[in-house]
Chains A and B, each alone.
Chain A
Amino acid sequence: MTTEVGSASEVKKDSSQLGTDATKEKPKEVAENQQNQSSDPEEEKGSQPPPAAESQSSLRRQKREKETSESRGISRFIPPWLKKQKSYTLVVAKDGGDKKEPTQAVVEEQVLDKEEPLPEEQRQAKGDAEEMAQKKQEIKVEVKEEKPSVSKEEKPSVSKVEMQPTELVSKEREEKVKETQEDKLEGGAAKRETKEVQTNELKAEKASQKVTKKTKTVQCKVTLLDGTEYSCDLEKHAKGQVLFDKVCEHLNLLEKDYFGLLFQESPEQKNWLDPAKEIKRQLRNLPWLFTFNVKFYPPDPSQLTEDITRYFLCLQLRQDIASGRLPCSFVTHALLGSYTLQAELGDYDPEEHGSIDLSEFQFAPTQTKELEEKVAELHKTHRGLSPAQADSQFLENAKRLSMYGVDLHHAKDSEGVDIKLGVCANGLLIYKDRLRINRFAWPKILKISYKRSNFYIKVRPAELEQFESTIGFKLPNHRAAKRLWKVCVEHHTFYRLVSPEQPPKAKFLTLGSKFRYSGRTQAQTRQASTLIDRPAPHFERTSSKRVSRSLDGAPIGVMDQSLMKDFPGAAGEISAYGPGLVSIAVVQDGDGRREVRSPTKAPHLQLIEGKELDKAQEDILKHQASISELKRNFMESTPEPRPNEWEKRRITPLSLQTQGRKGDHLFKDILSVKEKYLMPTTRTVEEKAQETDKSSHETLNIVEEKKRAEVGKDERVITEEMNGKEISPGSGPGEIRKVEPVTQKDSTSLSSESSSSSSESEEEDVGEYRPHHRVTEGTIREEQEYEEEVEEEPRPAAKVVEREEAVPEASPVTQAGASVITVETVIQENVGAQKIPGEKSVHEGALKQDMGEEAEEEPQKVNGEVSHVDIDVLPQIICCSEPPVVKTEMVTISDASQRTEISTKEVPIVQTETKTITYESPQIDGGAGGDSGTLLTAQTITSESVSTTTTTHITKTVKGGISETRIEKRIVITGDGDIDHDQALAQAIREAREQHPDMSVTRVVVHKETELAEEGED
Chain B
Amino acid sequence: MGTPGEGLGRCSHALIRGVPESLASGEGAGAGLPALDLAKAQREHGVLGGKLRQRLGLQLLELPPEESLPLGPLLGDTAVIQGDTALITRPWSPARRPEVDGVRKALQDLGLRIVEIGDQNATLDGTDVLFTGREFFVGLSKWTNHRGAEIVADTFRDFAVSTVPVSGPSHLRGLCGMGGPRTVVAGSSDAAQKAVRAMAVLTDHPYASLTLPDDAAADCLFLRPGLPGVPPFLLHRGGGDLPNSQEALQKLSDVTLVPVSCSELEKAGAGLSSLCLVLSTRPHS
Contact = CB atoms under 8 A, between A and B. Distances in A.
A774 interface: no
B135 A402 contact: yes
A433 B1 CA distance: 24
B284 A331 contact: yes
B201 A438 contact: yes
B1 A436 contact: no
A438 B160 CA distance: 12
Given A435-B150, A439-B202, A402 B159 contact: yes
B12 to A, nearest CB: 17
A330 B113 contact: yes
A325 to B, nearest CB: 12
Contacts of A305: none
Given A400-B1, A400-B4, A434-B150, A439 B201 contact: yes
B81 to A, nearest CB: 13
A401 interface: yes
Nearest to B82: A329
B150 A433 contact: yes
B56 to A, nearest CB: 25
Main secondary structure of the interface of B (DSSP, over half): mixed
A397 B1 contact: yes
Interface string B248-285: 00000000000000000000000000000000000010
A558 interface: no
Contacts of B201: 438-439
Nearest to A299: B204
Given A433-B150, A438-B202, A328 B163 contact: no
A248 B277 CA distance: 52
B233 interface: no
Contacts of A190: none
Contacts of A327: 157-158
A436 B202 CA distance: 7
Interface in B184-206: 197, 201-204
A439 B156 CA distance: 19
A742 interface: no
Given A426-B204, A463-B197, A435 B158 contact: no
A327 B160 CA distance: 10
A401 B158 contact: yes
A331 B113 CA distance: 10
A975 B134 CA distance: 71
Nearest to B204: A426
Interface string A427-460: 0000011111111000000000000000000000
A335 interface: yes
A970 B186 CA distance: 79
Contacts of B113: 330
A332 interface: yes
A89 B74 CA distance: 95
Interface in A494-543: none
Interface string B155-176: 1111111110000000000000
Contacts of A463: 197
A298 to B, nearest CB: 15
Interface in A307-362: 327-332, 335
Nearest to A440: B201
A367 to B, nearest CB: 15
Contacts of B197: 462-463
Interface string B190-227: 00000001000111100000000000000000000000
Interface in B40-87: 83-85
B153 interface: yes
B27 interface: no
A434 B158 contact: no
B155 to A, nearest CB: 8
Contacts of B156: 329
Most buried by A among B4, B149, B162: B162
Nearest to A464: B197
B116 to A, nearest CB: 15
B124 interface: no
B146 interface: yes
B83 A436 contact: no
Interface in A385-412: 397, 400-402
A397 B159 CA distance: 12
Interface in B115-162: 134-135, 138, 146, 149-150, 153-162
Contacts of B162: 435-437, 439
A402 B160 contact: yes
B146 A434 contact: no
Contacts of B203: 439
Contact of A329 (B134, B150, B158, B202): B158
Nearest to B138: A435
A435 B1 contact: no
B153 A433 contact: yes
Nearest to B84: A331
A335 B1 contact: yes
A602 to B, nearest CB: 31
Contacts of A439: 162, 201-204
Interface string A569-585: 00000000000000000
B39 to A, nearest CB: 43
Nearest to B157: A327
Contacts of B160: 402, 436
Contacts of B204: 426, 439
A435 B157 contact: no
Nearest to B283: A331
A529 B253 CA distance: 39
B161 A328 contact: no
A417 to B, nearest CB: 11
Contacts of A437: 162-163, 202
A134 to B, nearest CB: 44
A436 B138 CA distance: 10
B147 to A, nearest CB: 9
A330 B162 CA distance: 20
Interface of A: 327-332, 335, 397, 400-402, 426, 432-439, 462-463
Q: What 7 A-B pairs are tightest by C-beta distance, nearest first?
A: A402-B160, A434-B153, A327-B157, A436-B162, A433-B150, A329-B158, A329-B157
Given A329-B83, A402-B159, A439-B203, 5 more contacts: A330-B113, A331-B158, A332-B157, A433-B153, A439-B201
26 contacts: A327-B157, A329-B83, A329-B155, A329-B157, A330-B85, A331-B1, A332-B158, A335-B284, A400-B1, A400-B4, A401-B157, A401-B158, A402-B135, A432-B146, A434-B150, A434-B154, A435-B146, A435-B162, A436-B160, A436-B163, A437-B162, A437-B163, A438-B202, A439-B162, A439-B201, A463-B197
